[in-house]
Amino acid sequence: MPVLAVERITKRFGTNEVLKDVSLALERAEVRAICGENGAGKSTLVKIITGVHRPDAGVVLIDGKPTEIADPQHAQAHGIAVVAQELSLPPALSVLDNIWLGNRAVPLFHRRRELRERARGALERVGLGDLSLDTPVLQLSIGGRQLVELARMLTRDARVFILDEPTATLSDIEIERIFAALRALKAEGKAIIYITHRLGEVFEACDTVSVLRNGELVGTRRTAEIDRAELMRMMLGRSMAEMYPDRDSKAGTPMLVVKNLWVPPLVANFNLSAPRGAVICLAGQVGSGAIEIVRALTGLACDATGEVSIAGKPLRLRSVAKAQACKLRFISEDRAGEGVFLRLSVGHNLVATRLPDHARFGILARRSLRVAAARLAAAVGLDRARLSSPADELSGGNQQKLAFGRAIGDAPGVLLMNEPTRGVDVGARADIYRLIRQFCAEGYCVVMASSDLEEVLGIADVVVTMYRGRRVATYRSGEADMQRVLSDITHQVAAA
Amino acid sequence: MSDIAVRARLGLAEVHGRRLVIAVRLVAGAAIAAFALSTPGFASPLSINALLTAISFIGCVAVGMTFITITGNIMSLSLGATVSASALIFLASLSFGVPGALALAILFGVSVSAAQGMVVGHLRAHPILVSIAALSLLMGGAALATGGQRIYPAGTGLHIFKGRVAGIPVEALYFFATVALGQFILSWTRIGRVMVMVGSNRRAATAAGLRAASAVTTAYVIAGACSALAGVLLAARYGSGDMELGAGYDYSAIAAVLVGGTSIQGGAGSVMRTLIGVLVIAIIEVVLLLRGFSQQLQYLITGIIVLAVIMLHTISYGR
């Protein structure tokens, strides 16, 4: 009997039907991926299972019994646990305190030792056996925190774990630890719902996959019985011949030359020469220094030193304004925190860095700004009708297009990016890759840091692998393969 | 339980919230208007003029405060003291003639405030703590300079800040001009646009290469100039002054800014909203006065209304 099932669930918000007649059943010891583009209804489905929303039609069955889930506490009492993408663990408290925080089963007068032992047991089950219970959570990596969150749910006797894009911000090693924890949970007979944008993970970690599209269930398959292309076709409703556009780049003269770049405490003595019209990928995990190098070139690392020149002209590090004056543009890895002004309109966002071109004596030419915003929106494929809506109403993919629109300059320069497709769904990803190629074709020199190896191999003309602040190897496109890149970024090679 | 669930609820509330705010605003606006117009004596020229004069002083400070709030620096607790100190400087330097005294007073307000703006903008010090320090400095400096005495005008010419033009109090004309100029700066100039972006998301502004620190400093400069203008108007009206002249103006100003609906988190709001906030609070006070409520009750009721408006904004926008 399925431990959790939904039958013929329909949910409307206003006139907008976000889930249509969706049925799923989850067995014990099953890891089920739920895939779909942004807006396909994945989150709404999770919210119905966890009692945040009530369905307009249909029922949720727990152990075969129809159950009305009133609110998230109620869902938890039924053993349904959510590990959210962004965690809510209080960082200053210890691992032990975090595990028991808010657990109503702990009596006022409890035996501390018993709590420690039970917490220890839960941590061992998720592969954190060697973690001290007294470590403050802020000392853990994001991946570590997610494992603690899993342990926390274990102490609450959860039977169904829902993971909402747990790996979006993790490095490969951390992802592997999460997968190991999932396998351990599965061996105990727990059921797991795994929401992800990354198709590779579906095949690596999941037994079955359900695909949602526009609120409808396209189908549920065993992962052993389908392949990537089939899964992608299910998600997009069409076959995607090529996710990554052809490389037609004609690498030109060196545009960006970096010598002896130091970014304390991580990056030491980094050198790079990047030509016009090519995509250079710095491939590395969190802590490899790839992101830090890009940030330093942007001018956002306050203690970076080194000789950098753009088209022969020296660039002063540590000043974003100076970097911008050298036609250097940056797209941040942290879209909400640093990339986009979420509460300002799409139009305002697009022209944020162009005000000087549309002002006389400091007074704005508002009409010319509107025209410029519309032109930029068209250039990156954003709907002009949305120019005046706040940026936080856009999907992750569209927000990223917004960031690209802002990066378009009057003349080709250097485009710096970190994790350009983080949190972007498959459909919008293809658009982003096309945009990157478009920049390239116009003569931009593109340098990006990424920990998504599939993306690195798909888009890069030159792959630079990074490990602990140092370059491991450099590959031209065609020379690099998954195996070599993966081994480069996970193990230091002797002759670096 | 989970973060995702809590955020989902807020998100849902937000959609309804915006509609709720509009509805409540309409109803409240209509209620206040009905209440005011049905109050005997409210619509008389005398009372309207008194109202306009009364809002001018706090209104100027509130316009300045709007800039500090919009750039994400919450509020300044030193604007009231800046009002008083600028008034004293204006009175004491009237011997140089009105234009000279006015220029000195404004220059003083601007520099005091700009100094705070630089500390907040460049050094990223906490704006409220900086303003508390500035408040102490101003009070202490003024006590030393005046020996605690009242200051009387050192010259003549105060009449150009008093009286009426075309039946409208001169103070109100200065105030409306300040509002117009403030709104122009905010929505029609480059620096105004940058201020809003810095307030909306300072890290994003920095990453986009905008000069966040100078935008913050400019906001403080504007706040200083507005406060100094309020000080000059007050000095002219009362003919003498001490450091009590502008006491509490910073609190009234921030109340007006928030009632108007400018976000305390920065990045959203306008000077026109602040004008509405000033008007709403002032009208309620006048109506209560005309209806014979005691001073204590007036304070109490005004406090409750301000609290209610701020709660409404907080709940409906989830922030």
Please give the domain boundaries of chain B with CATH numbers for all domains.
45-314 (1.10.3470)
pLDDT tops 90 at residue B6: no
Give the mean pLDDT of B258-276.
92
Integer Cα distance of B92 and B241 in angstroms: 10
First to last CA, chain A: 55
pLDDT band at B282 (very low <50, low <70, confident <90, very high): very high
Nearest CA in chain A to B184: A363
Q: Is B190 on the interface with A (CB under 8 A)?
A: yes
Of A463-467, B7-11, B273-277, which range is least confident? B7-11
Contact call for residues B228 and B109 (beta carbons, < 8 A) = yes
Is the Cβ of A352 closer than 8 Å to some Cβ of chain B? Answer: yes
Sign of CA dihedral A134, A136, A142, A148: positive
Question: Chain B neighbours among A 26-65 (CB < 8 Å)?
Answer: 43, 46-47, 50-53
pLDDT above 70 (res B15): no
A-B contacts (CB, under 8 Å): 107
Residue A344: its chain B contacts at CB < 8 A? 196-197, 200, 267
Q: Does the beta-carbon distance from B1 to A75 stay under 8 Å?
A: yes
Q: List the end-to-end C-alpha distance of chain B, in Å, as a whole number.
A: 20
Query: Which 3 state secondary structure label does DSSP give B156?
Result: coil
Contacts of B200 in chain A (CB under 8 A): 341-344
Which among B307, B166, B174, B296 is positioned nearest to B234, based on CA atoms? Answer: B174
Query: Between B21 and A342, whose confidence is greater?
Result: A342
Question: How far is B165 from chain A, CA to nearest CA, in Å?
Answer: 30
- A47, exposed or middle or buried, with CB in 10 Å at 0-12, 13-18, 19+? buried
What are the tens digits of pLDDT across the range A181-240?
Answer: 889 889 989 999 998 877 788 888 899 999 998 888 999 999 999 988 888 778 777 554
Q: Show the tokens assigned to A454.
A: 């599939």
Altogether, the residues listed in chain B come to a count of: 319
Residue B63 contacts residue B274 (beta carbons within 8 Å): yes
Instruction: Identify all chain B residues contacting A82, using CB atoms and an 8 Å cutoff.
Output: 1-2, 4-5
If one compares B64 and A412, the residue with the highest pLDDT of the two is: B64
Q: From residue B255, how far is each of A383, B42, B248 by CA, in Å? A: 39, 23, 11
- Note whether B265 and B197 are within 8 A (CB): no
Closest-CA distance of chain A to residue B200, Å: 6
Q: Which of B188, B201, B207 sits opposite A364 (nearest CB)?
A: B188
Across the interface, of B1, B5, B204, the residue whose CB is closest to A341 is B204
pLDDT score for B5: 39
For residue A303, give the amino acid letter: D
What is the bridge-based pairing of β-strands A254-263 and A305-310?
antiparallel
Residues 6 or more apart whose CB falls under 8 angstroms from that of B27 comprise: none
ipTM: 0.86
Q: Is the CB of A355 inside 8 Å of chain B's CB atoms?
A: yes
The alpha carbon of residue A54 is apart from the nearest alpha carbon of chain B, in Å, by: 12
CB contact under 8 A, B188 and A363: yes
Is B193 an interface residue toward A (CB < 8 Å)? yes
pTM, to two decimals: 0.79
Residue-level pLDDT at B308: 87
| Interface contact A356-B9, CB threshold 8 A | no
Identify residue B122 by its one-letter amino acid code.
H
Contact B203 A337 (CB under 8 A): yes
| Closest CA–CA distance from residue A73 to any residue of chain B (Å) | 6
Q: Which residues have CB under 8 Å from A408's CB, separation 6+?
A: A376, A379, A380
* Distance to chain B for A365, nearest Cα, Å: 8
Distance from CA of A491 to the nearest CA of B (A): 32
The CA distance from A247 to A395, in Å, is 27
Note which residues in 231-260 of chain B have CB less than 8 A from chain A: none
- Label each residue of chain A as H, E or C: CCCEEEEEEEEEECCEEEEEEEEEEECCCCEEEEECCCCCCHHHHHHHHCCCCCCCEEEEEECCEEECCCCHHHHHHCCEEEECCCCCCCCCCEHHHHHHCCCCCCCCCCCHHHHHHHHHHHHHHCCCCCCCCCCEHHHCCHHHHHHHHHHHHHHCCCCEEEEECCCCCCCHHHHHHHHHHHHHHHHCCCEEEEECCCHHHHHHHCCEEEEEECCEEEEEEEHHHCCHHHHHHHHHCCCCCCCCCCCCCCCCCEEEEEEEEEECCCEEEEEEEEECCCEEEEECCCCCCHHHHHHHHHCCCCCCEEEEEECCEEECCCCHHHHHHCCEEEECCCHHHHHCCCCCEHHHHHCCCCHHHHEECCEECHHHHHHHHHHHHHHHCCCHHHCCCEHHHCCHHHHHHHHHHHHCCCCCCEEEEECCCCCCCHHHHHHHHHHHHHHHHCCCEEEEEECCHHHHHHHCCEEEEEECCEEEEEEECCCCCHHHHHHHHHCCCCCC
Chain B residues lying within 8 Å of A356, measured CB to CB: 190
pLDDT tens digits, residue range B202-223? 999 999 999 999 999 999 999 9
Pairing state of beta strands A462-467 and A445-450? unpaired
Minimal Cβ distance to B189: which of A338, A348, A363: A363
Of A219-228, B26-35, B179-188, which has the strongest mean pLDDT?
B179-188
**Which residues of chain B neighbour A332 with C-beta distances below 8 Å?**
204, 207
Nearest CA in chain B to A51: B5
- Measured distance CA(B245)–CA(B272) in Å, rounded: 26
Q: Which of B191, B193, B267 is opposite residue A343, by nearest beta carbon?
A: B267
Comparing CB atoms, the residue among A47, A53, A353 nearest residue B209 is: A353
Average pLDDT across chain A, whole number: 86
Residue A2, φ and ψ in degrees, nearest 5: -60, 140
pLDDT < 50 positions in chain A: 240, 492-496
Sign of CA dihedral A95, A97, A98, A99: positive
Cβ contact (<8 Å) for A362 and B197?
A: no
**Interface check A142 vs B, CB under 8 A:** no
Which residues of chain B make contact with A300, given a CB cutoff of 8 A?
Answer: 206-207
Does residue B267 sit at the A interface (CB-CB below 8 Å)? yes
Instruction: Please give the pLDDT value at position A100.
Output: 86
Q: How many CA atoms lie within 13 A of A208 on its CB side?
A: 16
Minimum-distance CB partner of B203 among A46, A52, A338: A338
